[in-house]
Amino acid sequence: METAFTHVIASPWTALAVMACVIAASVVQFGLGMGFGLTAAPLLALIDPQLVPASTLFIGLASSALGAWNERSRIVWNEVWLAALGRAVGVGVAIAILATLTSRDTFILVFGIMIAIAVIMSVIGLRIPFSRNSLLAMATLSGTMGTITSVGAPPLAIVYQDRSSSEARPTLAAFFAIGCTMSLAGLYGSGWAGQRDFLLALFMIPGMIIGAVIANRLRDRFDKRYRPALLAISGAAAVILILRALL
């Protein structure tokens, strides 16, 4: 365990930075039912690429499962299972892509590009009417992006954007709990994840709990007040990751 944590706990400031990222991302996740990955993944990748995607997916799984359980009576399960089918396809596509990446720099480049795409999708206000076909298509894209980067929320946010967060949040939380499980199964099955990823996720659990408490106080106000700043930070991190991989 000590070996797994060495690169994180070598500096107290590094550990604090990791915890701050997880707290902020958890506030977003518990407030909206999604968004942990988009907030945390690019920042954690800047701190240490080993923190993504698997460790971040574990925390996304835990926070989504807790959020879904808290509002389980309002989950629309037929939508969850349809989206899960698309997620499964997306995971398969992601594993095929990962199999072609021959170096860590190449992975970081692909990671940064996908984060940038996720930010752009969140910013431009693309509108796709909700339907079974659009849900299936966006869930597939979510599965691909989410498995490679742990960021799978933006595609689903597009098809759910006309619903209030109180309506969409439980269903999306349930979907991401199942979706993160699928992505982790794919990563472990293909050799892209191991024991270290789980141990690093355990290290981040306290930050998730703190974020849940904060989100309970902020609730629906959080997205309106802080979303533009968080997207700007995620976008800047994506650009830095791309440049780091290229230079």
Report the amino acid identity of residue 205.
I
Lowest mean pLDDT among 4-18, 150-164, 175-189, 195-209: 4-18
pLDDT tens profile 208-240: 999 989 888 876 565 555 677 778 889 999 999
Q: Which tokens in the block code for residue 213?
A: 């408490």
Task: State the CB neighbour count (10 A cutoff) for residue 83.
Answer: 27
Report the amino acid identity of residue 242.
I
Give the residue numbers spanning the domain of 31.
2-246
Domain total for the chain? 1
Confidence of residue 8 (pLDDT cuts 50, 70, 90): low
46 three-class SS: helix
User: Are the C-beta atoms of residues 115 and 234 closer than 8 Å to each other?
Assistant: yes
pLDDT value at residue 1 = 43
Mean pLDDT, all residues of the chain: 89
Q: Report CA-CA distances (Å) from 226 to 132, 185, 222.
A: 31, 33, 6
Tokens 């509002």 appear where?
71
User: Are the C-beta atoms of residues 237 and 46 closer than 8 Å to each other?
Assistant: yes
CA–CA separation, 34 and 16 (whole Å): 23
pLDDT tens profile 136-186: 999 999 999 999 999 999 999 899 988 887 889 899 999 999 999 999 999
Lowest mean pLDDT among 3-7, 30-34, 137-141, 186-190: 3-7
pLDDT value at residue 33 = 67
* 0.85 exceeded by pTM: yes
Q: Which tokens in the block code for residue 142?
A: 């979510």
Task: Determine the average pLDDT of the residues in 85-110.
Answer: 95
pLDDT tens profile 42-87: 999 998 888 899 999 999 999 899 889 999 999 999 999 999 999 9
